[in-house]
Amino acid sequence: MKHAVKQEVFKLMKQHVILKQTIKVSGLILLVALVTKFGNFDILSSDKLVKTCFNSGWLIVFFMVYLASQTFSMEFRFGTIKNLLQKNQQRRTIFFSKLITLVGYSIYLNVVAVVVTICLSMILFPEVSLKQTEVIRTLFANLLGNFVGMWLFASLSLMISLIVTNESLTSMLGIATYFLSSMLAGMQFMLLDKFSWLRWNPLNMLNLSNQLINSGMEKLTQLATNQLLIGNIVYILGFLLIADVVFSRKKI
């Protein structure tokens, strides 16, 4: 397993994925920070943006959704999946080595976002004290909510990539699902008022990040924060289980 994970990390490095995405995430944070500092826009608040890593979460989710949708698709496209199996690697080992790599990489991107945010905050926004409990609590609440939400999409994209054979369609479905779900997440509250049993739908799970910061969201989601967290975890594990079963039975 250790060797298989090293191979997956090497693939990311060889394709320059890690370097490119690290630069893009850091660049986005720097751009938003500079615009906030020197743009004189009243709608941009340094205090709020620091707590959200300068709104870099959406880009990290986008990268992870795309990467999750491609990690198996590319193996099938170039036929390298056969090489992995010929090296006596079990399908379960291949699946979990890719999963472990994706989890580790998602943690890495979030750490990059936090480190760059802290550095820029100290330089450009010294008035925003990172020693304040409220700032740190909100920052990490945002990180937790975004990380869980990110994996809800990433696990779904991983599952879709193994069910749908067309690589381009797989990527489009994963990315489209992300943007459409984000748009519909707020609209579903109207349905929850009439059909309370819908509170367990995956769209409602996307409100975890907001509810971690604003407990008043509980009236809209009709679920306690711990229930939202458990619901997210159940969906993620469910998508990953289906993906594992599909891969173990897929003809190669």
Which pLDDT tens digits describe the chain residue by residue (252 residues)?
888 888 888 888 888 999 999 999 999 999 999 998 887 776 777 778 888 898 999 999 999 998 998 888 887 777 777 777 777 668 888 899 999 999 999 999 999 999 999 899 888 888 776 666 677 888 888 899 999 999 998 999 899 888 886 666 666 776 777 777 767 766 788 888 788 888 898 888 888 888 888 888 888 889 999 999 999 999 999 999 999 999 988 877
Given a contact cutoff of 8 angstroms between Cβ atoms, the answer to whether 117 and 50 are in contact is yes
3-state secondary structure 129-190: CCCCHHHHHHHHHHHHHHHHHHHHHHHHHHHHHHHCCCHHHHHHHHHHHHHHHHHHHHHCHH
What three-state secondary structure class fits 198? helix
135 half-sphere exposure, CB direction, 13 A CA radius = 16
The model's pTM is 0.89
